[in-house]
Amino acid sequence: MEPYYKGKSPLTERFVHAFRGIWYAWQKEPNFRIEAFIAVGVLAAMIILPLHGLERAVLVLIITFVLALEVINSLFERMLDLIHPHFSPEVKRIKDTMAGAVLLAATAAVIIAGLILVRPLLLFDFTLQEFLIPFRTSFGIGFARIVTLLGGWQVIVGVGGLMSLILLVRQHYKHFTLLAGGLLGGELIVLLLKFLFSRPRPEAVEWVQAYGSSFPSGHVFLGTVLWLIVAYILTASETRRRYIWVMASTVIAFVVVSRIILSVHWFSDVVGGLLLGMFWFFFWFGLNEKLHEKESSSLPTF
């Protein structure tokens, strides 16, 4: 039988093996796909925003480091599954430690990227506000006023409250705490951050009522948390999983754009709300799983 990899194989063949491994990680590891999408967004910002060459190099290095660490984590998990097919507490601790290393690296990468991008991002706020002036037509404003409700308190309370009640009645306590705790905790985080930053909103807010300070966008933060949790709960069926996640992502994107079109937030406000909302979702999801790891993981059917 011909070995899969030989030390004296051609250089091109080694690249084939490498790309095959990356493709396998893309197919099998949802975390790798999420980090890859975030990396694409950071790279796009790196190209658009006025950064120095050294700053761009640092961003590329930390992106590569986090993605490589995720691939290594995937490799170790597969090796452990082969060596120890019977799951044990020791194997669980090893996997948790590797996942913790990836989380620490990703958190550090987010902090470093934030420190690098914050200055040009604040300058970009004013440029984008001027660029969007022609798009603030009667139709654009009307459409944005409707779409922005998907992240408003009426929808958050209505959808979140109804789904929480259904989950509670059906005794799906893990998903109930995921949804209720995610929204209540998210609201507290938004209020705290708005108080700490106290950033003024853009001038001449005419089309909707806006309260509180500007950073972060509460609509985007809580809308991101709500629709990601809703998508997770509704993905019980494999046949509709992809479409639900696409719909949730589309709703979040509409809310993001609507807050800028309505001029109630700066671009950096909605970016901060989006990233912080995603971070809170994944953090609370992991913590909630830990709290309920001994309970049944059956999903509700809607």
Which of 72, 105, 125 finishes a domain? Answer: 125
- Residue 259 gets the label, from left (phi > 0), alpha (psi -120 to 50) or beta, of alpha
Per DSSP, the residues of the chain read ---S--TT--HHHHHHHHHHHHHHHHHH-HHHHHHHHHHHHHHHHHHHS---HHHHHHHHHHHHHHHHHHHHHHHHHHHHHHH--S--HHHHHHHHHHHHHHHHHHHHHHHHHHHHHHHHHHHHHHHHHHHTGGG--HHHHHHHHHHGGGGSHHHHHHHHHHHHHHHHHTT-HHHHHHHHHHHHHHHHHHHHHHHHH-PPPPS---SS---S-SSS-HHHHHHHHHHHHHHHHHTTSGGGHHHHHHHHHHHHHHHHHHHHHTTSS-HHHHHHHHHHHHHHHHHHHHHHHHHTTTS--PPP--
Rg of the chain over CA atoms, in angstroms?
22
Residues 214, 104: one domain?
A: no
CA distance 153 to 160: 10
Per the annotation, does 77 bind a ligand? yes
Per the annotation, does 293 bind a ligand? no
CA distance 67 to 115: 20
Per the annotation, does 95 bind a ligand? yes
- The pLDDT of 134-152, averaged and rounded, is 84
Residues 198, 251: one domain?
A: yes
* H/E run at residue 131: helix 89-131
The predicted pLDDT at position 299 comes to: 46
Which of 125, 153, 185 finishes a domain? Answer: 125
According to DSSP, residue 263 is labeled T
According to DSSP, residue 265 is labeled S
**CA within 13 Å, CB half, 149:** 9
- Give catalytic status of residue 203 as yes or no: no
Show the domain range for 34.
Answer: 1-125
Residues 141, 185: one domain?
A: yes
pLDDT at 116 over 60: yes
The predicted pLDDT at position 301 comes to: 47
83 pLDDT band, cuts 50/70/90, is confident
pLDDT at 14 over 80: no
298 pLDDT band, cuts 50/70/90, is very low
One-letter amino acid at 41 equals G
CA distance 182 to 157: 12
The predicted pLDDT at position 300 comes to: 46
Residues 176, 90: one domain?
A: no
pLDDT at 295 over 80: no
Tell me whether residue 266 is exposed, middle or buried, using C-beta atoms within 10 angstroms of its C-beta: 0 to 12, 13 to 18, 19 or more: buried
Residues 104, 34: one domain?
A: yes
Catalytic choice (70, 203, 206, 289):
70
Residues 118, 171: one domain?
A: no
Per the annotation, does 8 bind a ligand? no
Picking from 183, 175, 160, 180, the residue whose alpha carbon sits closest to that of residue 300 is 175
Q: Domain count of the chain?
A: 2
Please give the span between the terminal C-alpha atoms of the chain, in angstroms, as a whole number.
50
Which of 125, 146, 170 finishes a domain? Answer: 125
Residues 235, 179: one domain?
A: yes
- The pLDDT of 243-267, averaged and rounded, is 88
CA distance 50 to 123: 9
The predicted pLDDT at position 181 comes to: 92
